[in-house]
Copies of this chain bind each other. A is one copy, B any other.
Amino acid sequence: MRLRKLGLAMAMVLAPAAQADEGMWMPSQLPAIGKSLRAAGFQGNPSDLADLTKAPLSAVVKVGGATGSFVSDDGLVLTNHHVAFGVIQYNSNAQRDLIQNGFVSHARAEELPANPDFRLRVTTGFDKVSDKVLAAAKGKTGRAYFDAVDAISKTLVAECEREPGMRCSVVNMFYGRDFYLVKQLELRDVRLVYAPPRAIGNYGDEVDNFVWPRHAGDFTLLRAYVGPDGKPADYAKDNVPYHPPAHLQVAQEGVREGDFVMLAGYPGITYRHRTAAEFADQVQWRLPTTVQVMQQLQHIIEDTGRDDRQAAIRYASQLQSLKNGIKRFEGELDGLKRSDAVAVRHKDEDAMLAWLATQPQAATLRPQIDEVNQLVASANATRERDLLLSLMQSQTQLMRSAIMLQRLAHERGNPDAHREAGYQVRDEDLMAGTLRQVQRRYDPPIEKRLLTALLTRYQKLPDAQRLPEFDAAFGRTPEALSQKLDQVYGATQLGDETQRLAWLKADPAAVSKSSDALLSLAAQLQPALLRAENERKSREGDLLRLRPAYMDALIAYREKQGRAVYPDANSTLRVSYGKVTPLKARDAVSYEPLTTTAGIVEKNTGAAPFDAPKPLLDAIAKGDYEGYADAKTGTMPVDFLSNLDTTGGNSGSPVLNAKGELVGLNFDSNWEAVSASWMFDPRYKRAIHVDLRYMRWLMDKVYPAPQLLKEMGVPAH
């Protein structure tokens, strides 16, 4: 009943101008916001976009954690160069360097098989299973609610995957309000068809990452194959091209500033409908604290590495990853502050609650919303400890190995199907790999210093946050901690790879009773870690049960405001619409929304990452842009900028014009938009796309592949 009422409500509301360009819409929502979509410039029928398992949206496929789309009836798939990079790398060697030189297949027989674990997924089913899931969890709370949802989901997935070639999953929308069973045809024979050289596909590399103006031709063409019977199959010479249920048509025309564009893809995760308290936690505590602790770890690695080159090399990757994380978190924090996100969200929530108080449903919803806030507050009560425990496991090598071995021993007591994810039989190869690579990433003095930093912070926590097992193990003073770590790391044999791998195979009882200093320490800590995990899952179960009330209130409040609500991103197919838009990035700095080939020459230094290949530079010097350049200005476009709503996972998303034709290929967003995972600020949120005129020109004039252009219905000039 509640669901039906809100479904109806949604059909009635329109997105006003202020919200026009925000939104990662479920295709099923598009008919309801059809009037906005048409007002923005869409010329098709919004109802035609409602079913993601039917044309045209069925042409949009999942490629790893990103997106692609079919662009011919013979299974040709367009995605980003960086999304297909593994395929290009897999087919490259010193003799034939496809990364450096690119690849043009001139005939089907020349197309190169992808790495065997590369997958394309075509969504064939998207069914609401809220009734089944909620019925299974009904009356439960906490951990039991969590486990019930988990169990029924596993059952539904198992049933669904009985059909050969299918991969299924249960996803939840609006934080547990709605559940869907997603069914995807998994194509396993994918081949490389066309890739530009690295210096085109990734022109600018890290220097230009997150940067506009951009000049990369970040695209690659693949082809999906199936067995002669039309069913998914592993690579085989006799496989035949897959005929997709739908494909997109590449446009003959290009875009200009202000043009309507829309995009479909698989955005990964956003937090926009989190509560005001969660926004405050993120900005005021989580981001600054995480940055502070990570910087402390960074400095430990850097300081030690300055005098010890061997250690510096071993920790190079961890250091890089810390620095990337710090940069990204700082960017998110800057952005959220620039957008005054905490105050804006708080004001919005206050207004929602004030309005709710005047409504009949307040009696049901308000107590649940209050419970959500209590749960968030209870999580905050141990947030320092939880952050430290998490870093203790992600930023160490030997300690993490010991904890993993003890947890595995613990899980082995359960039937495989009931074990914690990551500790099932099928995960053992991965665990062995993790234990092996410790050898190249571990330096005892650095690990001890990292642990000292984290555990010193831990020792200073108030009593309520500390765990008796940790206090017993590490003591309460710096001296006790130092002595313990020296003793454990001095005595443990886990530094030896053979030893570590032997413990992976060992009897669970032997592991848990091991006399190795570090394994024994991990065994001592394990009850505390399991208790903390159980608390978290119990809270997550309750949040899954209660957040729908918050979402119900928000959706009803937005309805009153005349606005529709999209669910936060969760790696399911979404559609966003907007327009080709410039960016006023800073005081007196404006970026135009289209770049041109002149900018490639401007940036070119001849050295990577600005080392455009000679054939490209020659073609630009020649200026043969007939049929591709902007008719008015004569300039040849490269990339363009829009205000489309995207996040990680939208890489490779097709960008369509008002007629639904393919005009662009999404590949990045701007630095100012890093905070958009929490808040969409229309002043700064932009998405960066390859202009398909650039792709077509490259395939026509620079690295010709006329047969592919013909296959896509846009023949060479």
Q: Which residues of A line the B interface, CB within 8 A?
A: 212-213, 215, 586-596, 598-599, 602
Which residues on the B side are within 8 Å of A212 (C-beta)? 588
Q: Roughly how many angstroms separate A589 CA and B586 CA in the complex, as a whole number?
A: 12
Q: Dominant SS at the A interface?
A: mixed
Taking a contact as CB atoms closer than 8 A, the residue among B587, B591, B598 that contacts A596 in the complex is: B587
Nearest B-chain residue to A583, judged by Cβ: B588
Chain B hits for A594, CB < 8 A: 588
Residues of B near A587 (CB, < 8 A) are: 213, 215, 595-596, 598-599, 602
| A593: B residues at CB distance < 8 A | 588
Q: Which of B213, B589, B598, B602 makes the CB contact (< 8 A) with A591?
A: B589
Given contacts A213-B588, A588-B591, 9 further A-B contacts (CB under 8 A): A587-B595, A587-B599, A587-B602, A588-B592, A588-B595, A589-B589, A589-B590, A589-B591, A590-B592
CA A595 to CA B598, docked complex, whole Å? 27
Question: Measured between alpha carbons, how far is A589 from B215 in the docked complex, in Å?
Answer: 13
CB distance from A643 to the nearest CB of B (A): 16
CA of A591 to CA of B594, assembled, Å: 16
Closest-CB distance, A15 to chain B (whole angstroms): 29
CB pairs A–B below 8 angstroms (13 shown): A213-B586, A213-B588, A213-B589, A215-B587, A586-B599, A587-B595, A588-B592, A588-B594, A588-B596, A589-B591, A589-B592, A590-B590, A590-B592
Contact residues in B for A215 (Cβ distance below 8 Å): 587
Kindly list chain B residues whose C-beta atoms are within 8 Å of the C-beta of A595: 587-588
Bound-complex Cα distance A598 to B586 (A) = 9
Whole-angstrom CA separation of A221 from B501 in the bound complex: 76
Name the B residues within 8 Å of A599 (CB-CB). Answer: 586-588
Residue of A212, A589, A591, A592 with most chain B CB atoms under a 10 A cut-off: A589
Residue in B closest to A638 when the chains form the complex, CB atoms: B587
| A254 CB, nearest partner CB in chain B, Å | 15
Kindly name the residue among A587, A591, A599, A602 whose own CB sees the greatest number of chain B CB atoms within 10 A: A587
A598 CA / B598 CA spacing, docked (Å)? 32
A586 to B212, CA, bound (A): 11
- Residue from B586, B591, B602 in contact with A590 in the complex, judged by beta carbons closer than 8 Å: B591
CA distance A587 to B595 in the complex (A): 6
Closest B residue to A593 by CB, please name it.
B588
Q: How far is the CA of A598 from the CA of B599 in the complex (A)?
A: 29
A602 CA / B587 CA spacing, docked (Å): 8
How far, in whole Å, are A594 and B594 apart by their CA atoms in the complex? 24
List the B side residues contacting A596 at CB < 8 Å. 587-588
CB nearest neighbor in B for A598: B587
- With A and B bound together, what is the CA distance between A263 and B591 in angstroms? 30
- Closest B residue to A640 by beta carbon equals B588
Q: How far is B598's CA from A593's CA once the two chains are assembled, in angstroms?
A: 23
Closest chain-B Cβ to A671's Cβ sits at a distance in Å of 14
- Minimum CB–CB distance from A672 to chain B (whole Å) comes to 11
Q: Which of A213, A586, A594, A598 has the most B CB atoms < 10 Å from its CB?
A: A586
**Distance between Cα atoms of A598 and B587 in the complex (Å):** 7
In the A-B complex, the 8 residue pairs with the smallest Cβ-Cβ separation, listed nearest first, are A587-B599, A213-B588, A588-B592, A590-B590, A588-B595, A587-B595, A587-B598, A587-B602
Q: Nearest Cβ in chain B — how far from A208, in angstroms?
A: 12
Complex CA distance for A213 and B586, rounded to whole angstroms: 9
User: Separation in Å of the A709 CB from the closest CB of chain B?
Assistant: 26
Q: Say yes or no: B588 contacts A602, CB within 8 Å.
A: no
- Complex alpha-carbon distance, A617 and B588, angstroms: 19
Q: How far is the CA of A594 from the CA of B589 in the complex (A)?
A: 10
Complex formed: what's the CA distance from A599 to B585 in Å? 11
**Cα distance A598–B683 in the bound complex, in angstroms:** 15
Give A388 Cβ to nearest chain B Cβ, in Å. 27
A212 to B586: give the CA distance in the assembly, Å.
11
A592 to B599: give the CA distance in the assembly, Å.
20
A588 to B213 alpha-carbon distance, docked (Å): 6
CA distance A598 to B585 in the complex (A): 12
Residue of B nearest to A338 (CB): B602
When chains A and B are docked, how far (Å) is the Cα of A586 from the Cα of B610? 15
Please report the C-alpha to C-alpha distance between residue A213 and residue B585 in the assembled complex, in whole angstroms: 12
For the complex, what is the distance from the CA of A213 to the CA of B589, rounded to whole Å?
7
Option from B586, B588, B602 in Cβ contact (under 8 Å) with A586:
B602
Q: State the CA gap A590–B590 with chains docked (Å).
A: 5
Please, how many angstroms separate the alpha-carbon atoms of A81 and B668 in the complex?
43
A337 to chain B, nearest CB (A): 11
Provide the bound-state CA to CA distance between A215 and B587, in Å.
10
A702 to B588, CA, bound (A): 23
Instruction: Please indicate the chain B residues that have their CB under 8 angstroms from the CB of A591 in the complex.
Output: 588-590
Q: Which residues of the partner chain B approach A602 to less than 8 Å between Cβ atoms?
A: 586-587
Residue of B nearest to A595 (CB): B588
CA distance A213 to B590 in the complex (A): 11
Nearest CB in chain B to that of A587: its residue: B599
C-alpha spacing A591/B588, complex, angstroms: 5
Per the bound structure, the CA–CA distance linking A588 and B641 in Å amounts to 11
Expressed in whole angstroms, the minimum distance between the Cβ of A617 and any Cβ of chain B is: 15
Name the residue of chain B whose CB is nearest to the CB of A639.
B588
- CB A633 to nearest CB in B, in angstroms, measures 12
Q: How far is the CB of A204 from chain B (nearest CB, A)?
A: 12
A586 surroundings in chain B (CB, below 8 A):
213, 599, 602
Q: In the complex the two chains form, what is the Cα distance from A487 to B208 in whole Å?
A: 52
A642: min CB distance to chain B, Å: 14
Give A592 to B592 CA distance when docked, in angstroms. 12
Chain B residues with CB below 8 A from A592, complex form: 588-590
User: How near does chain B come to A580, taking the closest CB pair, in angstroms?
Assistant: 12
A595–B596 alpha-carbon span in the complex (Å): 27
Output the least CB separation between A415 and chain B (Å).
56
Residues of chain B within 8 A (CB-CB) of A598 are 587
